[in-house]
Structure 1
Amino acid sequence: MDKIRINNLKFYTHNGVLKEEKRLGQQLEIDIELQLSLRKAGETDDVSQTVNYAEVNEKIAQHTSHYSYDLIEGLASGILDDLESTYSKQLKKIIIRVRKYSVPMPSIFDNIEIEMEREF
């Protein structure tokens, strides 16, 4: 299966369980992997034969700026729902990873990351 990946999209959001997280906000990183056939796009060099990743980026940006969730799992699921409703005919699978860096836990770590996927 061919893949389109957009890595390390950065968004400032107001997600989190704690009131401070929602009030102050924080940066999240998102990776998206779209699995589909890219054969026709490669043969024709025609953007209409693929999923336009600029449009995917815009959909993710719109979702992260318009919705607030307690959990990054909720954010990821909402983005997957948006992408599925638009691209399910072209895509075979979508994988999303969301990373959160400012997690109020008494430990030393880089980030918390969740990964979710949808198959069609």
Structure 2
Amino acid sequence: MDKICLHAMEFYAYHGVLEEEAKLGQKFVVDLEVATDLRRAGETDNLDDTLSYVAIYDVVKQTVQAERYQLIEAVAETIAARLLRKFSRIESVRVKVTKVMPPIEGILAGASVEIERARN
């Protein structure tokens, strides 16, 4: 299956269990991979035969920035569900959400979850 990938989309948002996370916010990074058939688009060179990167990005941005979740698992699940619902051409979606500076005593680049969901 062919794939469209959007890498390292950065957002400032207010997800987390701790009160400070909801109040101060922090940076999140989302990586996305959608599986779809790109053959026709490759043959026709026509945007109508593929999925718009901009439209996909807008769904991710709306989910991450306009709403608040306690768990990054819920952020990832919501992104996947909305993309599958909105774009019938998507066969499956892989979403990775990284909390860049999680409130952990220690040195780490981030904490992330990665999920994959397919159309039935």
Coarse TM-score class (shorter-chain normalised): over 0.9
Q: Any residues of structure 2 matched to 1:73-92 within 5 Å, and which?
A: 73-87=73-87, 89-92=88-91
Q: In the aligned structure 1, how far is the partner of 2:103 from the partner of 2:66?
A: 24
Report how far residue 35 of structure 1 moved. 0.6
Counterpart CA distance in 1 for 2:34 and 2:81 is 14
Query: What is the RMSD computed on CA atoms of the aligned residues?
Result: 0.8
Runs of 5+ consecutive residues of structure 1 not aligned to the other structure:
none
**Structure 2 length-normalised TM:** 0.95
| 2:53 pairs with 1:53 | yes
Q: Does structure 1 retain, via aligned residues, the 8 Å contact 2:84–2:92?
A: no
Q: Secondary structure at the match of 1:41?
A: helix
Partner-residue secondary structure (3-state), 2:112: strand
Does 2:106 match 1:107?
yes
TM, length-normalised to structure 1? 0.95
Identity of aligned residues (%): 34
Which residue in the other structure is 2:117 paired with? 118
Pairwise CA distance, 1:110: 1.0
Query: Is the aligned partner of 1:18 residue 2:2?
Result: no
Residues 24-33 or 62-71, more deviating: 62-71
